[in-house]
């Protein structure tokens, strides 16, 4: 593992999807950590630093947008990518604490592109 390997925290409550995202991103060369809900995510980030967090919006304990807000309160230099079931608009993002969003799909290429773009910023 190289020293400049980027670290990503995947927050996803459904195991198969979490596993799929983890593998897909690891294929891209990222160091991927996973948690299954918002609470765990905040707990993880309290003691660990990552470069990017992927947040599923629909989660059992906490809405992804809410989690994003709390992450921002930690004042950490972390990018947040929202995974949503709906299509949204650039304008909506301004009110969000997230950096970008991507509509969930079996085709992971869109998500991987967004992650790449965010890592390059």
Partner 1 sequence: MLTNFEKIIEIFNQNNFEERLKTMSNLIQDMSGSRFVCLYVYEEEHKQLRLMYSSETLKPEEYKIKIDTLNSELLSPFEHNGKSLIPIRYKDKLVGLIGLDIGKSIDSLQCLQIATLLKILLEEESNRATMSKLVTMEKLDNEIGMVSTNIDELYKKVLDFAVEVSNAERGTIWLIGDRELILSYTSGISEEEILKRRVEMGYGMVGWIAQNREPLLSTSSKADPRATLDIFSFQVKSTIGVPIIRDNQLIGVMMLMNRKNTDFYRTYRHFDEFDLSLLVSIANRLKMAITQIELYTKLEKENKALKEIQKQSEDYINHQKEQVRLLNALQKILQALRHTQDMRNIYKIVMIGLTSNSGFRFNRALLLEKDEELKVLVAKEWLGPVSEKEVPSAWESAKADEEKYADFAHYLQEEALRVDLSDGLTSYAKGKVFSYTGDYIFDRVINRSRIVHVTPMLVAQRGEEFSDLLQLLGVKEFVCIPLVGRRDVYGAIILDNKYTNVPITDDMIDILGIFSESIGLTIESLKSYAELVDKTINLEKQRSSAEYFKEFLQNILENLDVAIMVVNRENVILEWNKKSSELFGFEKSKMINSDINMLGPEFNDILTVAQKVYTAKETISLTDYNFKFRGREFFLNMTFSPLKEQNVDVITGYIAMFEDVTRRHMLEIELRNRERLAVLGEMSAKIAHEIRNPLSAIGGFAQRTKKITNDEKISKYTDIILGEVKRLEKMVNQTLEFSRNERHGNFVLSCLNQIVGEVVDMYSEKFELQGVKIEFEKDEKNPCIKIEPDHFKEVIINIVQNAFEAMTGSGVIKVKVYSDDDNVYVDVWNNGIPIPPDKIESIFQPFFTTKTYGTGLGLAICRKIIEDEHYGKISVKSDAENGTTFTVRVPKDIDLKGGLK
Q: Which residues lie near partner 1 (CB under 8 A)?
A: 14, 16-17, 19-21, 23-24, 58, 85-87, 89, 91, 103-108
* Residue closer to partner 1 (CB basis): 59 or 78: 59
CB of 75 to partner 1, least distance (A): 30
User: Of 77, 74, 29, whose CA–CA distance to 52 is shortest?
Assistant: 77
CB of 118 to partner 1, least distance (A): 20
* Residue closer to partner 1 (CB basis): 43 or 85: 85
CB of 91 to partner 1, least distance (A): 5
CB of 43 to partner 1, least distance (A): 23
For strand 100-103 and strand 7-11, is the pairing parallel, antiparallel, or unpaired? unpaired
DSSP 8-state class, residue 83: E
Cα angle 21-63-42, degrees, rounded to a multiple of 5: 70
Report the chain's terminal Cα–Cα distance, integer Å.
22
């Amino acid at each position: 593992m190289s020293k400049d390997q980027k670290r990503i925290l995947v927050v996803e409550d459904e195991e198969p999807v979490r596993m799929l995202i983890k593998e897909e991103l690891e294929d891209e060369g990222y160091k991927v950590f996973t948690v299954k809900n918002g609470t765990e995510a905040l707990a993880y980030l309290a003691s660990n630093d990552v470069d990017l967090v992927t947040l599923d919006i629909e989660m059992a304990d906490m809405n992804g947008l809410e989690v994003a807000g709390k992450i921002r309160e930690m004042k950490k230099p972390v990018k947040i990518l929202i995974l949503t079931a709906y299509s949204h608009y650039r304008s909506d993002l301004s009110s969000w604490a997230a950096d970008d969003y991507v509509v969930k799909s079996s085709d992971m290429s869109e998500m991987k592109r967004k992650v790449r773009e965010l890592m390059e910023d």
